[in-house]
Amino acid sequence: MRQLPTANVRHDRHLAPVASIGRSRADLQPVPQIGPRSSAQIFADGERARFECDALLASRPDMLLIGSPEEVAALDARIELARIRTLQANTQHAAALAAETEAKAAHEAEQKRRKDLHRRAVKASAEVEKLAAEYITEAQRLVPLLERIRERAALIEAANFALPEGADPVPPGEPRCSWNGRSDQPHSSIASRVKLPALGTDAGYIWGEVAPIHGRIIHEPH
């Protein structure tokens, strides 16, 4: 598309400070934008376009009087372009305002959701503190039970290791458990599988042996 000529001051013909073929005033040129524009930026662009249009219209009577037909046509083209830019800015400004209003409402709704979630989390934290204390009590209460199961499991294992002639293996007394569901593997007692960790960093276990980890203190069950 052929670029329309721009107008500038033409003092030798005593025209209003806008009209002549050549470079346009820098303050009347649209400012190139990078990325999305805010409603305030669009409004400012619209104001610049409107001021340019008003200035060009003010210069038209002098141009009709002393300008050439080509210069009048060029001025009219600039006036029409400024009008279009003004109309575009008005339309874009309304759309930007609507988008910003929607974005603000979405942001406020999200912040409300986060604040509500935070409030509930603070309450949950206080509840977990109480529940953790209950866990310690319940875990310690299970220790004697697990000790009894472990003692009896050891007794059963010893008996099955040295069965008398003609005797069947003694059942474990609890549902059979073996790794990966394979029946050819030895039964694993619940007492050897339960892990009851104590609270705190490197606090060890209230019950359950764990594999040694480099740099970590292991607390044997007692």
Q: Which residue ranges make up each domain of the chain?
A: 11-108, 128-207
Residue 40, pLDDT above cutoff 70: yes
Task: Give the whole-angstrom CA distance, residue 149 versus residue 154.
Answer: 9
**pLDDT reported for residue 30:** 55
Stretch 73-90: mean pLDDT: 94
The least confident of 46-50, 145-149, 151-155, 174-178 is 174-178
Stretch 70-86: mean pLDDT: 94
- The answer for 54, left when phi > 0, alpha when psi is -120 to 50, beta otherwise, is alpha
More confident residue, 187 or 113: 113
**pLDDT reported for residue 75:** 94
Q: Which long-range contacts (CB under 8 A, 24 or more apart) does 29-32 make?
A: 30/85
**pLDDT reported for residue 210:** 54
pTM (two decimals): 0.50
CB of 210 closer than 8 Å to CB of 218: yes
**pLDDT reported for residue 13:** 40
Q: Could you please report the per-residue DSSP string of 61-100?
A: HHHHHHS-HHHHHHHHHHHHHHHHHHHHHHHHHHHHHHHH
Residue 17, pLDDT above cutoff 50: no
**pLDDT reported for residue 6:** 34
More confident residue, 126 or 193: 126
Stretch 189-195: mean pLDDT: 88
Stretch 119-129: mean pLDDT: 96
Stretch 198-206: mean pLDDT: 84
Task: Give the whole-angstrom CA distance, residue 70 versus residue 12.
Answer: 18
3-state secondary structure of 196: strand
- Amino acid identity for residue 22 in this structure: G
